[in-house]
Amino acid sequence: MEKVTDYFGCNVFDDRIMKATLSEKVYKSLKRTIDRGTPLDISVANAVAAAMKDWAIEKGATHYTHWFQPMTGVTAEKHDSFISPAPDGRVIMEFSGKELVKGEPDASSFPSGGLRATFEARGYTAWDPTSYAFIKDGTLYIPTAFCSYTGEALDKKVPLLRSMDAINRQALRILRLFGNTKVKVVKTSVGPEQEYFLVPAELYAQRKDLIMSGRTLFGAMPPKGQELEDHYFGSIKQKVSEYMADLDKELWKLGILAKTKHNEVAPAQHELAPIYSTTNIAADHNQLTMEVMQKTAKKHGLVCLLHEKPFAGVNGSGKHNNWSLSTDDGVNLLSPGETPYENAQFLLFLVAVIKAVDDYQDLLRLSVATAGNDHRLGANEAPPAVISIFLGDELTGVLEAIEKDIPYGGYEKEKMQLGVDVLPKFSKDTTDRNRTSPFAFTGNKFEFRMLGSSNSISCANIHLNGAVAEVLKQFADELEKADDFSTALHDLIRRTISEHKRIIFNGNGYDDAWIEEAERRGLLNMKTTADCMPRICDKKNVDMLTSHGIFTEAEIYSRRDIMLENYVKAVNIEALTMIDMARKEIIPAVAKFASDTAKGVSVKASVSGAECKYEKRIISELSGLVDKMDEATSALEEAAAELKGIGEAVPASEFVRDNILPKMDVLRIAADKAETLTAEDYWPFPTYDKLLFGVK
Ligand code: ADP
Ligand code: MG
């Protein structure tokens, strides 16, 4: 057996390969660019390109691609071969620094939300040297950012890098105030836990809804769901375990730190978590992970569903965004320290995050809003659409003591003096309440749990980084002016706790009472994408995002439209798929079963004079349901036709929320009821029991 340490990262042009293949001068210059963002000289780019090409060709690659993340939610790539004609009719393999640094894909076929109308159709991709190049399927992949010719971001990476820059600038100001002159860079790190479902490929192929929309649009609950709680952390089935082993291996070859795997709550649901890394690398790796998950599943006769809600009635899939902030000398700024000085600094960063989440609840909510994720958030599933922060009782107690200037219970009798006292040791919170929170402090990081399983993690982190950067800026502005730093710091922390403690909630997020309580506290509860997405254009949000250079105003409006259009398109496809399945599959099947049953009645009655109570009831109920489905389908058809006529993104999304989705529900309820009355042989596609329990 091959050893993991032998093949880990074998397809990655990583630091080890750079050191081995580049001259010392080129290597050092590239390292400076990677670590500190200093501009790269073209001669250095040429040398790196040559080394990359030789290494890639050695590994069997014939092509290279600039790999980027347009607003479609998936990644994009255009492959060019290395070949270049030689005078003697043969070819040589070439790859220049210019080709490494910049690509020019036609931007006109990617969503730009109006930016294209105002600017040129051409776009360019720019190498992101902080994320390693890698080889996949015979092609050298170069991670890049994607912009219009005039510099507008057309992707998710450009604003992500800008947001990391913003938080770096402001966090450094704070550290300087604490007398720290050594730290050069502060970076955010993310470890995204990824949930997914596996279903047998041959069953998937028989369901138009799964093929077209990634989720089941019809389906009655089987007798068994997740109520026995026997799946979570349960022993892993052979076929799944083989899949997971293969997946780990493929990810490791790509240098992805796949670490943990286990069964999740719902039947057929699983999770994979990597070890955390710098946010832009984590984002690249998560996109790659989702791709490799789907590809590897095919090899095993399975399909990997990344949709947020593939099945009604059992848990959906999310992605937990574990987020922290650390310095280049390895200090986690969200980790309670050993000394009073470190503790004061920790508390300042902690309350900064609390204020940021409270001030920008809307931005965080909308950063994870998609048609798919709306089925989890605000739909009786964790977490709710209301954003709150879990801190645990101990830390909440400390903040309370600071705010009210009273002794901290359980800890000495003394009042806490910032910068003088050491914080008590917090034991890791292991309560179940924590798991229901949308935004939980877990010892030395925050876990943002609202992301959907298919979301790119970029959007959530752009807004989170931006919000925290803004608060750190306000803090730095205030503290830099202060005559007495300690007093000003103490006042600032106290005031922040008192103004923003409404966002802290340590109770059970599943509880309906919490939603009422949240309303009393004035927290936002935005259930759908249509409700929250337009708020990205609120003045407060535009001011924050533009002042930190994360987005231009034009980019913000374009993103609102793109995200709303994606929502409208996704639901529209679902509606059309439902119409198709109802008209061509479900209604004919149910009608046929009813009429076959009717034929049986006449035969039976003529022979025996039997009453045929069962048959008559079934025929009557099913005929009623067939009519209902027919009506509901027609109503949905009309609504879908009306939607076509609405051009603007905001009214279209509202129409989807108010007209299309409720009509889809009416059709589904009738069809699911019919499923429970129709003989299994007649049902036109595989049912939930087979999909959820079909993998052996
Ligand atoms: P759990 O959520 O089950 O308690 P862990 O805390 O071990 O599990 O980690 C969950 C995820 O959080 C993993 O991807 C892990 O790498 C990541 N993580 C751990 N520490 C940090 C950190 N300081 N910053 C960001 N992510 C982290
Ligand atoms: Mg977790």
Hey, which of 164, 265, 432, 445 would you mutate to test ligand 1's pocket, going by the most ligand atoms within 8 Å of its Cβ? Answer: 445
Distance (Å, rounded) from C-alpha 624 to C-alpha 620?
A: 6
- Where is pLDDT greater, at 408 or 597? 597
Q: What is the DSSP letter of 360?
A: T
Ligand 1 atom closest to residue 275's alpha carbon, by position in its atom list: 16
Is 4-155 in CATH node 3.30.70.580? no
Would you give the distance in Å from CA 605 to the centre of its chain? 60
Q: Assess whether pLDDT exceeds 70 at residue 326.
A: yes
pLDDT digits (tens, 9 = 90+) for 469-492: 999 999 999 999 999 999 999 999
Tell me, in angstroms, the distance from the centre of ligand 2 to residue 45's CA. Answer: 40
Ligand 1 atom closest to Cα of 335?
23
Q: Mean pLDDT across the stretch 16-36? A: 94
Cβ < 6 Å from ligand 1: which residues? 189-191, 193, 273-276, 322-324, 332, 442, 444-445
Whole-number pLDDT of residue 671? 98
pLDDT beyond 90 at 653: yes
Closest ligand (CA of 446)? 1
Instruction: Compute the distance between CA of residue 100 and CA of residue 144 in angstroms, rounded to an integer.
Output: 10
Nearest ligand 1 atom to alpha carbon 322: 26
Whether 9 contacts 253, CB under 8 Å: yes
Number of helices (H), then strands (E), belonging to the chain: the values are 25, 17
The pLDDT assigned to 339 comes to: 73
Residue-level pLDDT at 394: 83
Ion ligand 2 neighbours (CB, 5 A) are: 320
Cβ contacts of 368 within 8 Å, gap of 6 or more = 377, 450, 451, 452, 455, 459, 460
pLDDT of 120 strictly over 70: no
Of the pLDDT bands very low, low, confident and very high (cuts 50, 70, 90), residue 427 is low
Question: What number is the average pLDDT over the span 147-169?
Answer: 92
Q: What's the pLDDT score for residue 413?
A: 47
pLDDT band of residue 417 (cuts 50, 70, 90) is low
Ligand 2 center–CA 167 separation, angstroms? 24
Residue 381 in this model has a pLDDT that exceeds 80: no
Q: Average pLDDT in the 636-645 region?
A: 98
Per-residue model confidence as pLDDT tens digits over 400-409: 988 988 876 6
pLDDT tens digits, 68-111: 999 888 899 989 999 999 999 999 999 999 999 988 877 777 78
What is the structure's pLDDT at 10? 96
**C-alpha dihedral over 199, 200, 203, 204, to 10 degrees?**
50
Tokens read off for 114: 């109006």
Can you tell me which atom of ligand 1 is nearest the CA of 276? 16
Whether residue 40 contacts residue 30, with contact meaning beta carbons closer than 8 Å, is answered with yes
Q: What is the mean pLDDT of residues 581-605?
A: 92
How much distance in Å is there from the Cα of 222 to the middle of ligand 2? 29
- At 432 the pLDDT is 63
The percent of residues in the chain predicted with pLDDT above 70, rounded, is 95
Closest atom, ligand 1, to C-alpha of 192:
14
Q: How far is the CA of 323 from the centre of ligand 1 (A)?
A: 8
- pLDDT bin (cut points 50, 70, 90) of residue 419 is low
pLDDT of residue 430: 55
Distance 437 CA to ligand 2 centre (A): 11
291: pLDDT strictly greater than 50: yes
* CA of 323, closest atom in ligand 1: 25
How remote is the CA of residue 237 from the centroid of ligand 2, in Å? 23
The pairs formed by 617-626 with CB atoms below 8 angstroms and a separation of 24 or more are 618/594, 618/677, 619/594, 621/677, 622/590, 622/591, 622/593, 622/594, 622/597, 622/674, 622/677, 622/678, 623/594, 625/590, 625/670, 625/671, 625/673, 625/674, 625/677, 626/587, 626/590, 626/591, 626/594, 626/674
The predicted model gives 444-459 an average pLDDT of 96
Q: State in Å: Cα 234 to ligand 2 middle.
A: 17
Q: What is the mean pLDDT of residues 197-207?
A: 98
What is the residue with the minimal CA distance to atom 14 of ligand 1? 191
Nearest bound ligand to the CA of residue 276: 1
Query: Given a cut of 50, is residue 204 above it in pLDDT?
Result: yes
* Ligand 1 atom closest to the CA of 193, numbered from 1: 14
Q: What is the pLDDT of residue 74?
A: 87
Q: Nearest bound ligand to CA 233?
A: 1
**Residues ≥6 apart with Cβ < 8 Å to 379:** 527
C-alpha 82 – ligand 1 centre gap (Å): 40
Is the CATH number of domain 565-693 1.20.120.1560? yes
Ligand 1 atom closest to 274 (CA): 14
**Which of 167, 276, 432 should be mutated for ligand 1, with most atoms under 8 A from CB?**
276
Ligand 1 atom with minimal separation from the 324 CA: 24
- Choice from 322, 334, 449 to test ligand 1 binding pocket (greatest atom count within 8 A of CB): 322
Kindly identify the ligand whose nearest atom is closest to the C-alpha of 322. Answer: 1
Average pLDDT over residues 600-627: 87
For ligand 1, atom 24, the nearest C-alpha belongs to 324
- What percent of the chain stands above pLDDT 90? 78
> What pLDDT sits at residue 421?
63
Both tokens assigned to 106: 């036609």
Q: How many angstroms separate the alpha carbon of residue 575 from the centre of ligand 2?
A: 34
Q: Which helix (H) or strand (E) holds 390?
A: strand 389-390
pLDDT bracket for residue 285 (50, 70, 90): very high
Closest atom, ligand 1, to C-alpha of 444:
23
159 pLDDT above the threshold of 70: yes
Residue 113 CA to ligand 1 center (angstroms) comes to 35
* Tokens linked to 350: 């902690």
Q: What is the mean pLDDT of residues 213-230?
A: 88
Residue 412, pLDDT > 60, answer no
Please report which ligand is nearest the Cα atom of 437.
Answer: 2
Residue 325: nearest ligand to its CA? 1
Ligand 1 center–CA 140 separation, angstroms: 30
Q: Whose CA is nearest to atom 17 of ligand 1?
A: 191
The rounded mean pLDDT for the chain is 92
- HEC string for 568-636: HHHHHHHHHHHHHHHHHHHHHHHHHHHHHHHHHHHHHHHHHCCCCHHHHHHHHHHHHHHHHHHHHHHHH
Q: Which ligand is nearest to the CA of 435?
A: 2
Average pLDDT on 10-17 reads 96
Distance 238 CA to ligand 1 centre (A): 27
Whose CA is closest to atom 6 on ligand 1? Answer: 442
What pLDDT was estimated at residue 110? 78
Ligand 2 centroid to Cα of residue 447, in Å, is: 7
Q: What is the mean pLDDT of residues 409-415?
A: 53
| Structure confidence at residue 111 (pLDDT) | 80
Is residue 542 helix, strand or coil?
A: helix
Chain segment 348-377, per-residue pLDDT in tens = 999 999 999 999 999 999 999 999 999 999
**Lowest-confidence segment of 77-91, 393-407, 530-544, 619-633 by average pLDDT:** 393-407
Q: How far is the CA of 443 from the centre of ligand 1 (A)?
A: 10
Locate the domains of the chain by residue range.
Answer: 4-155, 565-693
Per-residue confidence (pLDDT) for residue 308, from 0 to 100: 97
**Quick one: average pLDDT of 513-540?**
96
Q: Enter the pTM of the model.
A: 0.95
Proportion of the chain in helix, strand, coil states, percent, rounded to 5: 50, 15, 35
Q: Is 399 exposed, middle or buried (0-12, 13-18, 19+ CB in 10 A)?
A: buried
Cα 305 vs. chain centroid, distance in angstroms?
A: 14
